Amino acid sequence: MDLFEYQGKELLRKYGVPVPEGRVASTPEEAVAATRKLGGKVVVKAQVLIGGRGKAGGIKVAPSPEAAGEIADEILGMDIRGHIVKRVLVERAGDIADEYYCSFLVDRSERQFLGIMSAEGGVDIEEVAANDPDKITRVHVDPLLGMSQFHARELVFGAGINRDARKEATAILPKLYDAFVSLDASLVEVNPLVLTGEGRVMALDAKVSVDDSAGYRHPVFDELKTVHEVPEQERLAKEKGLNFIKLEGDVGIIGNGAGLVMSTLDVVKDAGGDPANFLDVGGGAGADVLSSALEVITSNDEVNSVLINIFGGITRGDLVAEGIIDALGRLEIKVPIVVRLDGTNAEQGRKMLADAPHEMLVTATTMLEGAAKAVELAGKGGD
Amino acid sequence: MAILVGNDTRLLVQGLTGREGSFHGLRNREYGTNLVAGVTPGKGGSDVDGIPIFDTVREATTATGANTSMIFVPPPVAADAILESHDAGIEVIIAITEGIPAMDMARTVTHLRRGQSPALIGPNCPGVISPGKANVGIIPGEICTEGPVGLVSRSGTLTYQIVYELTQEGIGQSTCVGVGGDPIPGSDFIDVLERFEEDALTKLVVLVGEIGGDAEERAAAWVKENMKTPVVAYIAGFTAPPGKRMGHAGAIVSGSQGTAAAKKEALESAGIRVATNPTEVSAIVKELL
């Protein structure tokens, strides 16, 4: 789960990382009040889970409470690359003498933790990596030994951080690492880490992404989640434990396992169709899950046919069939459902489907045949 | 031969008394796998369909000579279960459990890879099957058949799909390995390719990848340098929506966007043929064998 900047900063502050004083506002009035409380010049920042806010006009400086209100009014509701701004962060503005980049993340290739630092902060770090790779310093941290002071020195000296910022930056890095590990984060990124006019070092931005699998030991994740707004269909799917992403086409897809579902999307596309969604029921899905999946998919009016492509391992074909039969009885299904079923207890499942004929139920023996049928039927429905 | 599991496998299941653990553990036994023990703390002394249950892995290995462990315990205790197997001297650990926190796996894998490490396959994987010899995991045994093709995959169900199509074409498999899709896997493509390259039974390897990360790109480079056995690949996710990724650090690390197109290009430039759908995999394999 990706966290909003203000959420990330609140968490980092708890681990001793200096961040500017700020308040969240969801109305212009709140922004005015926040600015009054903070006093002086402030920065009003759109809270969206996407980069490039500054360029899109989502970050502006306000010299007075009234100006902050006007700016908040302008930014709230703004569409930044498909993300609607619901909140702004109002922060005390300060002078910036220098900007750096630093992050900690899980390095999949090395199966270790990786610290990254650069003296080129505040800009697109991917560009720096591509054009000026020498300006980025990487230091691996052994997950069992944890971070030592020397790791921080290697990052700070390696990146050539300004002399005035070295001491504080070296002290901040272990705190960031501590936050990264303690929060079960997959990424903690600060861009920029700034040296202020007063000679202080602080995190001016924070991108924190936490590992949902570790939610059971972080009750705070549930609280953080409450402000995350997802489209209605996706929310419904998530509630039912389904991994769902809406797409633009008209062939609904249900499968088990991300790899097989992705492959199914590819095959439907190759057959000339356009997938309406990605939906992975996960491993070991029971009848209720399959039934819910069909409910979610058919709640999208753009769907003209559905392809259910299941290859059971931990998922049992008989339970899949039970779920499909339940959904066909429970819901008013108006589009053809093409079912392709193989693997664990598939024969049993196919027999159950054969014994419960339904006018909208179509079976296929292979994945390619299933894709071809679903695409053909979607075409008819679309006429 | 075959790799990782075979006629010498003496299997213990951590979590054999659970619903999934017993279903799949007993299915593995039915397939012909030598299932010798189960471990569930507090249930030592009981049995599951005649298989003795022990409280600890050490008791189980001492009593039964188990050398392979399959892990079916819930995510919060799964890393502990892996470490327990390692500590008891288990040689091959196959972790099926999905949803283990990455921090736990980072520590566990770091520990296991020091010194004479056991083979850890998974977590969040379908397991390993050497057709006709042993099945450890949830891959449906009936879709496999003995033969010369090794298969390694990051995906579970997509593995079944491809194995099934190979079998339909009359092409058997030496061993099928699902390495799992977690951020920190116990074994990656290269770990498994190394074993296939040394395996006398394996004449060709099918590599099944998917979008994200750079495991396929690294495997491609490794194959080019080190492998004589031919490799055929399939990548899923050409039409998948770009992941909701935040921050840019991931891309900096891998130097790759992790797209299916980038992976296909890397594999092809290493001389590996890449199929466009699961069915085409078996066609290319047939041609090359």
Sheet holding B231-236, edge to edge: B134-137, B127-130, B173-178, B146-153, B204-210, B231-236, B273-275
Each residue of B231-272: pLDDT tens digit? 999 999 888 766 544 556 666 666 566 888 899 999 999 999
A142 → chain B, closest CA residue? B110
Query: Which residues of chain A lie closer than 8 angstroms to B249, CB-CB?
Result: 103, 105, 114, 116, 125, 187, 189
Q: What is the mean pLDDT of residues A92-104?
A: 94
Best probe of the B interface among A125, A139, A263, by most B CBs < 10 A, is A263
**Active-site residue, from A101, A120, A177, A322:** A101
Best probe of the B interface among A344, A365, A367, by most B CBs < 10 A, is A344
| Angstrom distance (rounded) from CA A344 to CA A365 | 15
Asked if B164's CB is within 8 angstroms of A106's CB, the reply is no
Q: What is the mean pLDDT of chain A?
A: 92
Catalytic site includes residue A189 = yes
Chain B nearest-CA distance from A36, in A, is 32
- Give me the pLDDT at residue A383, please: 45
Catalytic site includes residue B86 = no
* pLDDT above 70 coverage of chain A, percent: 98
Asked if A259's CB is within 8 angstroms of B236's CB, the reply is yes
Q: Which of A129, A144, A263 sits opposite B107 (nearest CB)?
A: A144
Query: Which residues of chain A lie closer than 8 angstroms to B113, CB-CB?
Result: 111
Chain A nearest-CA distance from B164, in A, is 9
Best probe of the A interface among B217, B248, B259, by most A CBs < 10 A, is B248
Rg (CA), chain B: 19
Each residue of A46-71: pLDDT tens digit? 999 888 888 899 999 999 999 999 99
B156 → chain A, closest CA residue? A257
Task: Return the higher-pLDDT residue of B116 and A120.
Answer: A120
A212 → chain B, closest CA residue? B101
Query: Which residues of chain A lie closer than 8 angstroms to B94, CB-CB?
Result: none
* pTM, entire model: 0.90
Range with the lowest mean pLDDT among A187-201, A240-254, B73-87?
A240-254
Pairing of strands B204-210, B134-137: unpaired
Q: What is the mean pLDDT of residues A196-212?
A: 94
Q: What is the mean pLDDT of residues A262-268?
A: 95
- Give me the pLDDT at residue A124, please: 80
Query: Which residues of chain B lie closer than 8 angstroms to A209, CB-CB?
Result: 246-247
Rg (CA), chain A: 26
A102 → chain B, closest CA residue? B249
Amino acid residing at B74: P
Each residue of B126-135: pLDDT tens digit? 999 999 999 9
Q: What is the mean pLDDT of residues B1-18?
A: 96
* Centroid of chain to Cα B74: 18
Each residue of B209-238: pLDDT tens digit? 998 888 999 999 999 999 999 999 999 988
Q: Which of A184, A255, A278 sits opposite B101 (nearest CB)?
A: A184
Q: Which of A112, A116, A214 sits opposite B103 (nearest CB)?
A: A214
Q: Looking at chain A, list the stretches that DSSP marks H as alpha helix, in order from N- to C-terminal side.
A: 5-14, 28-38, 65-75, 125-131, 149-158, 163-182, 220-225, 232-239, 258-270, 287-298, 317-330, 346-354, 367-382
Asked if B215's CB is within 8 angstroms of A108's CB, the reply is yes
Each residue of B149-202: pLDDT tens digit? 999 999 888 999 999 999 999 999 999 999 998 889 999 999 999 999 999 999
Q: Which of B126, B153, B210 sits opposite A262 (nearest CB)?
A: B210
Chain B nearest-CA distance from A158, in A, is 17
- What is the complex's ipTM, to 2 decimals? 0.89
Query: Which residues of chain B lie closer than 8 angstroms to A269, CB-CB?
Result: 238-239
- Give me the pLDDT at residue A234, please: 77
Each residue of B40-96: pLDDT tens digit? 999 999 999 999 999 999 999 999 999 999 999 999 999 999 999 999 999 999 999
Amino acid residing at A133: P
Pairing of strands A337-343, A361-364: parallel
Q: What is the mean pLDDT of residues B17-28?
A: 94
A257 → chain B, closest CA residue? B157
A317 → chain B, closest CA residue? B140
**Active-site residue, from A30, A120, A189, A322:** A189
Q: Which of A213, A260, A312 sits opposite B99 (nearest CB)?
A: A213
The helix or strand, by DSSP H or E, that contains position B221, with its residue range, turns out to be helix B215-226
Q: How many residues does chain A have?
A: 383
Q: What is the mean pLDDT of residues A13-32?
A: 96
Query: Which residues of chain A lie closer than 8 angstroms to B111, CB-CB?
Result: 144
Q: Looking at B65-178, list the stretches that DSSP marks H as alpha helix, in order from N- to C-terminal side.
A: 75-87, 102-112, 157-168
Residue A265 has pLDDT above 70, yes or no: yes
Q: Which of B126, B140, B240 sits opposite A265 (nearest CB)?
A: B240
Asked if B214's CB is within 8 angstroms of A259's CB, the reply is no
Q: Which of B109, B119, B106 minimizes the C-alpha distance to B191?
A: B119
pLDDT band at A381; cut points 50, 70, 90:
low
Asked if B102's CB is within 8 angstroms of A106's CB, the reply is yes
